[in-house]
Structure 1
């Protein structure tokens, strides 16, 4: 654990210089980021990833956003609902400010050349390395199922996601740093074994604290404790009203002892820019009813503009399809060029030098 924290702290210490480089020379960077479409995006996604993607796009960084439909089945038996979830994710991307003229949005299943990169990449990692990956361990434990080949090779698939477009910058939370290191190892080993084809991507660590769900646990689609971006104002109010708090009338911020109350305070905090402690002091002995009212108002006011844009975009499903079709086409073109370069480096070009 100490070595991991040492690595994380070292990465964190490099962030000011990296942010300076991005600000000075944004055109030198290409990011790859994405989501697994297992459900509708929620407030945690907005604060954890969507805002950061839009910020980097607006700064001039070439931005690739993957809706990882193949990864839906890493820890489940089928891909039920994936069509709707992909569509709704793209609606939220666009509503949040992603611009199809500056950002490429695509799905795994539409870019076979990307997925083909897994084959040579798998030869560059050991079974032991895959078993050590913390995401593989946690997803396996959460699924309660036997370890599938797709879940075991999940880190390699992520490396293909990043390297197919020669992404050199990956916005991540601290728990995802091992994935970036595995990608760097794969890029380095390929370059050493064959030819210098891939960059070794850098992690751009997102210091945004994890937004808890309405019950104080991690905000998760599977827990049903999230405020989805697609919710109406009334649906948001209902979700907050259902949140479990406690019988103490005086509102205090104490995540360990009062997870439900503290989760609502944190939610209101990120939406208003005020501290949880400040909000708790203002509510005082107003109890859970006042806390829930303030939280509902904070969320609904914060999401009002997003919801207006979302409704406009959702009313034109043909536009959403057009955005995805264009993104898939660009991703395929880039992936094909990268795969051709990989085949040449490996000496696997036949039939007249394709």
Structure 2
């Protein structure tokens, strides 16, 4: 049995524990603000964060701005991306009064944890991390020290607040395993300071983009949460399909058609095959019209809430979140220095 299968098998019991005692859990989740958030983010992560918040779990959401430069030369429009992400979080239902939303670079004590954590892992372990290998291949650049130590940065992100729950998909499970290893080795060497966090495997669908590939900012195939209705319609109309008027769900042979069907299906809580049967032989034009209407209706309330928010609102949320995160990180760093005998 592989690690993912074993972890997934534990999910019913873990979810039952969360439902029974949400106050015992602290979750850390977030993303690199490399671009605007899209439907894939909403169904992949944001919706789960709102659910955990509503359940009473102490939730931390990190915008890992330092990590934007792990595989690129510059940070780009990172400030605008951060503010846009916060606005989407608020529009989606995250409440900054109970959920801590903060920026990675604004919490110095968090980043100081990197040094002792690096002493607990080997270079070989870092090289084996699948995300490091995948990002290196995608970048086409030499391996930087920042990218190599990316898994340890993520461990610091999780452990600075002594998080014990991390929502992940299959691809990110190795990062939780690395974090557990670092927490365990620190505790064995210096005394109990950190919990060993548990992975909460989400059952969110992986939403394909408009070209059938994974929805991604880098592919330019995403429906951004901040798009207007007209911009969404234009993006969907540009999607490449084919000349076969009979609409079928066949991701391998008809990726563009499949991407549209999957997008409509996820916002309508239906299956792609059901929608394909409904459209029948009306052709790709009818499919695009159907998808436009479904997506725009789904995003209508989100857009209304988003339109009422400003970058100043996002900045205020971040100031509050940064302050709380920094206070917690400082306390954790004090615990670490005390355990290591480095208080003066």
TM beyond 0.5: yes
Alignment of 1:235 onto 2:231 = yes
> Alpha-carbon deviations, 1:159-185, whole Å to 9, x = none?
000000000000010111000000000
Which of 91, 103, 126 aligns to 2:87? It is: 91
Task: Give matches, 1:97-176, under 5 Å.
Answer: 97-176=93-172
Task: Give matches, 1:204-243, under 5 Å.
Answer: 204-243=200-239
Alignment of 1:327 onto 2:321 = yes
Match of residue 276 from structure 1: 272
Match of residue 67 from structure 1: 63
Match of residue 343 from structure 1: 337
Query: Once the 2 structures are TM-superposed, how far is the Cα of residue 209 of structure 1 from its aligned partner?
Result: 2.0
Alignment of 1:264 onto 2:260 = yes
- In 1: Cα distance, 2:83 partner to 2:29 partner: 17
Query: Once the 2 structures are TM-superposed, how far is the Cα of residue 318 of structure 1 from its aligned partner?
Result: 2.3
- In 1: Cα distance, 2:155 partner to 2:107 partner: 15
Match of residue 12 from structure 1: 8
Query: Once the 2 structures are TM-superposed, how far is the Cα of residue 320 of structure 1 from its aligned partner?
Result: 1.6
Query: Once the 2 structures are TM-superposed, how far is the Cα of residue 269 of structure 1 from its aligned partner?
Result: 0.2
- In 2: Cα distance, 1:319 partner to 1:38 partner: 21
- In 2: Cα distance, 1:131 partner to 1:41 partner: 29
Match of residue 178 from structure 1: 174
Query: Once the 2 structures are TM-superposed, how far is the Cα of residue 16 of structure 1 from its aligned partner?
Result: 0.5
Which of 298, 302, 317 aligns to 2:298? It is: 302
Structure 1: gaps of 5 or more residues: none
- Stretches of 4+ moved more than 6 A in 1? none
Match of residue 250 from structure 1: 246
RMSD: 0.6
Structure 2: gaps of 5 or more residues: none
Query: Once the 2 structures are TM-superposed, how far is the Cα of residue 63 of structure 1 from its aligned partner?
Result: 0.3
Which of 25, 28, 37 aligns to 2:24? It is: 28
Query: Once the 2 structures are TM-superposed, how far is the Cα of residue 11 of structure 1 from its aligned partner?
Result: 0.6
> Alpha-carbon deviations, 1:132-151, whole Å to 9, x = none?
00000000000011101000
> Alpha-carbon deviations, 1:108-129, whole Å to 9, x = none?
1100100000000000000000
SS class of match (2:281): helix
- In 2: Cα distance, 1:228 partner to 1:319 partner: 20
SS class of match (1:170): strand
Compute the TM-score of the two structures, normalised by the length of structure 1.
0.96
Query: Once the 2 structures are TM-superposed, how far is the Cα of residue 319 of structure 1 from its aligned partner?
Result: 2.2
- In 2: Cα distance, 1:324 partner to 1:96 partner: 16
> Alpha-carbon deviations, 1:207-248, whole Å to 9, x = none?
212101100111110110000000000000000000001111
Which of 30, 37, 41 aligns to 2:37? It is: 41
- In 2: Cα distance, 1:183 partner to 1:349 partner: 25
- In 2: Cα distance, 1:70 partner to 1:59 partner: 30
Alignment of 1:200 onto 2:205 = no
Compute the TM-score of the two structures, normalised by the length of structure 2.
0.99
- In 2: Cα distance, 1:242 partner to 1:184 partner: 45
SS class of match (2:200): strand
